[in-house]
A and B are shown apart, each in its own frame.
Chain A
Amino acid sequence: MAKITLSNLAHSYLPNPQKDADYALKKLNHVWEDGAAYALLGPSGCGKSTLLNIISGLLSPSEGQIFFNEQDVTQADTADRNIAQVFQFPVVYDTMTVKQNLAFPLKNRGVDAQYIETRVNEIAQMIGMQDVLNNKAQGLTADAKQKISLGRGMVREDVNAILFDEPLTVIDPHMKWELRTQLKALHQQLEHTMIYVTHDQTEALTFADKVVVMYDGKVVQIGTPKQLFEQPEHTFVGYFIGSPGMNLLPAKIEGSTAIINGTSIELGADYNNPTGKVEIGVRPEFCSFSDDGSGLMVSITRVEDIGRHKIVRTQFAGIELNVIAASSARIPADTCHIKFDLSAINVYVDGWRVEGQQRKRQQTKGEAAL
């Protein structure tokens, strides 16, 4: 088990990267704490697989270093890093039995046969495959095969980390839930450092202690699921996490007042007079209809009743604005006013969140950036 430190890490698939856009993974400093469960979340092509492959050693970074604990492993071979990885598609050795599959990583390392026997049985117990131990892996279903992959990943007790590369892609929805729960339980039991790559926010938020959100080769936020929800550090996080995502409205801000297309609203904090691309972001969960005519006047385009609650799609000056209302709520007629929960308004300048000041003081926006 190890703490993994990324120091000034960057990667480009081009031989001579010149500009920022040439990098698949932009410069990054981060420490993965020992024993924690991380999810690496982002859309396809955001660089998350690149990052994972650099950690596992399948890819050598073009810049920067990686440390496992205090040891520099940047140039170390995958086999020497003592990590385990579970891939998107089940990788099993078809001609071996389930038992031989599970024993394989141990056997290759010359581990004592007696120990292998007990350990394999333990793992088989954990993944619920003790009944089929002597079956050939070939004829098994995709999720059984993926369970074997998981098992092979966990069979070594001393691994530095277990990496998961979208491991549930090929699994049926009902099995997904089961495997995910199992994985979470296994993490609590084994306390390995786990990094779980996915583009599915539900998977990420349910599995991880901390979620690392990536976008366009950059890490845009690292935080607990709660932080990602309440204080997205970047407009992308707001948009990507949540269903529907955060409402974003271009605004002009003067002190503690935002002017959105002619309508002023209070922000509850002082933001000075930021320049650049200024937006305010409010999650649909924190929007509500006002009875007194205050707030933004919108026209309702559609109401979707999804059972637990209703999603009200509205338009404000050509911008889509979503409101989540209780399923029992009465939805007003065509036009109505919407107000925001004061504490849930985030202000973004050029995509990054800025902190407002309760008292008059010079504010900086630097801390928002990573």
Chain B
Amino acid sequence: MTDAPLLSIKGASKRFGAIAALEDVSLEVGAGEFFALLGPSGCGKTTLMRLVAGFETLDAGRIEIGGADMSGAPPHRRPVNLMFQSYALFPHLSVFDNIAFGLRRQGKGRAEIAARVAELLQIVRLEGVEARRPDLLSGGQRQRVALARALAPGPRLLLLDEPLGALDRQLREETQFQIKEIQRRLKTSFVVVTHDQDEALVMADRIAVMRAGRIEQIGAPTEVYERPATRFVAGFIGQMNFLEGHIENGAFVGAFGRLPAEGGGLLQGAKAVLAVRPERIAIAPTTQENPGLDGVVEDVAFRGETTHFRLRLPGGETLRVSRGADSGAPFCVGDAARISIAPEAGRIFASE
């Protein structure tokens, strides 16, 4: 990044009693970037977001927004707004007054507030409900009001805590794209906290995968997906096969046989795990003259765009394989199949 980062977190640590919620976390979010904090519940992502918003104080480390140190700054003096997971809409105020809340605190005039609220309602595609109370709105409408309210003061950085968590599946997918579109239009930096890998992959420019108060990997969605830095990241994002084995002469050797694979810096004889995505495994009939491992098809699941196979290898391991529709010979349950894994398709991690 050439520009100075909008949000800079350096060595952030936070404990709650005996529990370390965050340990030495550092990351940077650029201006106009869509950033995702991804991890299972309890990984510290919400704590990190609350620290940025100013609801918690750091035990160690430093948070800077736009170059200014935020230590000691109360929430109402930070150029950051937060969209709450529960939405936290004010039940005693109308939709209009909810969205206008931040504008009134800025001392804006009546006409300016009305214009800005109308603009925001149009941005989130929710017009005609200004006078209603939040409890009379649907879940999807409430979510939009919460987004509009958080955007209203024009923050440089918007934090979104599980913004789609309370929506049903269909609405969620639709809203993912809307949020991304709004972010692109407004060029505000978004930091979204989520436990849903799909959300992070679809929306974010970069993802920080967190686990137990630490950051495991920061990278673009393709990078995190294709080149997971740790075994945890490999298993957390997307479908993944893990095969146990060890390293022998530049090849990965398991109970099933041996596969040519990059050693990943592991020593000869070291115990290792091979991680390989289902779609990176080639599957073909055994009759063909190609090298590979033979297995038996245990299950075939047709899912429209893709077909998923479950194979049993000679060593007893099961392997999930997927491939695009109408690519190659059909397989039935009980068929023998030959699979091959290209050296660059798998990642090798040390056994834990």
The answer to whether A and B belong to the same complex is: no
User: Which residues in A have some Cβ–Cβ distance to B below 8 Å?
Assistant: none
User: Which residues in B have some Cβ–Cβ distance to A below 8 Å?
Assistant: none
